[in-house]
Amino acid sequence: MPLVVQKFGGTSVADADKILAAARKAIRAHREGKQVIVVVSARGHTTDELIGLAKEITERPPAREMDMLLATGEQVSVALMAMAIQALGVPAISFTGAQIGIVTDSFHTKARIRNISTERIQQALDDGQIVIVAGFQGVDEHYNITTLGRGGSDTTAVALAAVLGADACEIYTDVDGVYTTDPRVVAEARKIDRISYDEMLELASLGAGVMHSRSIEFAKKFGVPIHVRSSFADATGTWIVAEEDARVLGASVTGAALAKDEARVTVLGVPDRPGVVHALFRRIGEANIVVDMIVQNVATHGRTEVSFTVAGGDLAETLIVAEHAAREIGAEGVTHDASVAKVSVVGLGMRVHTGVAQAMFEALGAAGVNIQMITTSEIKISVLVDRASGADALRCVHQAFELERPRLDDRRDFAPHRRPPAERSPLAGPDAPPLANGLGGMEDLVVSGVELDEEQARVTLLNVPDRPGYAGKVFRAIAQAGVNVDMIVQNVRSASGDTRLSITVPRADALRAAEAASAAVDDPGHVLVEPNMAKLSVVGIGMRTHTGVATRMFGALAEAGINIALINTSEVRVNVLTDLGPGKAGLAALGRAFDLPTRLAASGSGSRAE
Ligand code: ADP
Ligand code: ASP
Ligand code: MG
């Protein structure tokens, strides 16, 4: 019998009428002969109100009690939903996360799912009931109630769809699909028909609040198609599916996102030797803080600067950890900026289309937006800007890529279907092979490979003026020289007033890129070329939210005595640049650390084209 999971977000269950309307959707699917699981969030702004209440009692509510409190919001919703469905004449039963055995780790307020026992749900489904499950919550091995992080009901829904083998997971919300960017910020945003897991994963983790990014990790790992659609209408929404099913012709950029509430932390005067970056990020990883935009400057006089961004809410804790780590590694200090925003463009098309960085930087320059930091991955470019310019920056980037224009769709006949899991589920049976690394748990990371690209060179512009328009000019010149740029990294202005912009390019193009850049800048003496570099990559799913991957990677390189020259991260890869000499030793060290076969990558694989 077909099985569907339907998830209703907070606004979709805000009052009695909306709960009844949601109930009717579930009943309709039931009458169509499907087994139905309904996952619900807390009503309206309940979660925010509960957080506010806790803050009235104490500035720092203990995380365990916070989870005890927040989980009540969803418990109210499941009971009301079950009543609504029963009142409409269909048998239904509600469960909390604990009751159906959603077992998580013990990281309160950001717990990860370890296991879900399916017997009780399956029994109720087989009895013909609609099963209502409280989203966002679970229980740890000591029966403490946990929550999965804000927006986590999406993750409950997709996780249930994954373990129960549902044909699809429907996410009902207050927009009718995934848009090219948040329609509340950019009115011209356009609904996307289909988007790949990787693009959605990036967009979600870069600020597109429509989906909890961890839900997309599940969907990709277990091959679950997701349909994001309106609670208040019946039209088709957006399908989030495998890359093969998502492909739409011609576009370099699929969507853009704004993370408004970001904070930047910079560790100053970091000694430039192996192991230092590892020591820093190990500490941060241990605190379960998700880090983005890691940028390390080219070292001068044996010291460098490492900047990274975290969610604004994690700043206070991050500073405590970073200051501690800075003392430990002999760095000179820690600075931060609490009022920055991150603007990103995402698209699988960036692997083949050139000129994306140039277009983005020129648009920002023309709008007078200063770029403070830049990082890229093969399918995204992110810039850090002053928070006050964030929304304008998003709008101008959206316009520059004409994201409001409909895209050519080459597969009108598309029908979603479940794909075989990317890796076998550990829940598939006692003999099923565990996920890579033998870690086993449902939400543990899946690392699928380690790679070495020996064809890289680095070109660095020193003394980059800290003003709008500069990056656009440089990238125009490099593009005109016909050079494909892979990684782009720019750190914030250093204590000595210096901003540095590094790019990596194929070795054969290094001099051409340097000449083009020199011609475009005011001070051509300040271009540094390092022709013999290598890129080491760890490839997988959900790498950024699993702080452990980068930490393990940096640790393995440190142990092998290999210095890290540059870092860039995405949800599907962590890349580091090293000298060419130790590249092969680095690859072997990573192979051992992740217990995976290694491979020499063709030049440019896993790269953006620019
Ligand atoms: P729910 O309570 O149903 O989970 P959310 O508030 O979490 O709903 O997510 C829906 C909201 O996400 C929308 O109202 C919209 O403002 C916001 N959003 C941000 N980025 C996007 C995007 N790219 N596409 C659609 N909605 C987006
Ligand atoms: N109620 C929780 C929140 O507001 C979970 C969710 O809505 O997904 O974050
Ligand atoms: Mg949500």
Domain boundaries, the chain: 3-174, 256-404+446-609
> Is the predicted pLDDT of residue 432 greater than 50, yes or no?
no
Task: Check if 182 has its Cβ closer than 6 Å to any atom of ligand 1.
Answer: yes
- 3-174: CATH number: 3.40.1160.10
> Is the predicted pLDDT of residue 429 greater than 80, yes or no?
no
The CA distances from residue 318 to 164, 291, 498, in Å, are: 38, 9, 25
Which pLDDT band holds residue 604 (cuts at 50, 70, 90)?
A: low
Pocket test for ligand 1, best of 174, 188, 203, 345 (most atoms within 8 A of CB): 174
Return the higher-pLDDT residue of 542 and 213. 213
81-108 pLDDT, tens digit each:
999 999 999 999 999 999 999 999 999 9
Q: Whose CA is nearest to atom 21 of ligand 1?
A: 182
Return the higher-pLDDT residue of 17 and 304. 17
Pocket test for ligand 2, best of 146, 153, 210 (most atoms within 8 A of CB): 153
**Taken in order 148, 418, 129, 22, is the CA torsion positive or negative?**
positive
Which pLDDT band holds residue 5 (cuts at 50, 70, 90)?
A: very high
SS3 content of the chain, % helix, strand, coil (to 5): 35, 25, 40
Position in ligand 2 atom list of the atom nearest CA 148 = 5
Q: Compute the distance from residue 170 Cα to the ligand 1 centre, in Å.
A: 14
Residues enclosing ligand 2, CB less than 6 A? 9-10, 41-42, 47, 73, 135-136, 150-154
Residue written as tokens 């702004």? 45
Pocket test for ligand 2, best of 6, 43, 47 (most atoms within 8 A of CB): 47
Which pLDDT band holds residue 353 (cuts at 50, 70, 90)?
A: confident
CATH topology of domain 256-404+446-609: VC0802-like (3.30.2130)
Q: Whose CA is nearest to atom 4 of ligand 2?
A: 47
215-227 pLDDT, tens digit each:
999 999 889 999 9
246-262 pLDDT, tens digit each:
876 677 899 999 999 99
Q: Whose CA is nearest to atom 9 of ligand 2?
A: 150
Angstrom distance (rounded) from CA 103 to CA 206: 27
Return the higher-pLDDT residue of 304 and 408. 304
Give the model's pLDDT for residue 440.
Answer: 44
Q: Compute the distance from residue 152 Cα to the ligand 2 centre, in Å.
A: 6
Q: Compute the distance from residue 44 Cα to the ligand 3 centre, in Å.
A: 11
The CA distances from residue 274 to 142, 270, 562, 602, in Å, are: 40, 11, 6, 27
The tokens describing 384, both together, are: 């850090």
Return the higher-pLDDT residue of 354 and 176. 176
Task: Check if 460 has its Cβ closer than 6 Å to any atom of ligand 1.
Answer: no
The tokens describing 194, both together, are: 């289909």
Cβ–Cβ under 8 Å, residues 483 and 474? no
Task: Check if 8 has its Cβ closer than 6 Å to any atom of ligand 1.
Answer: no
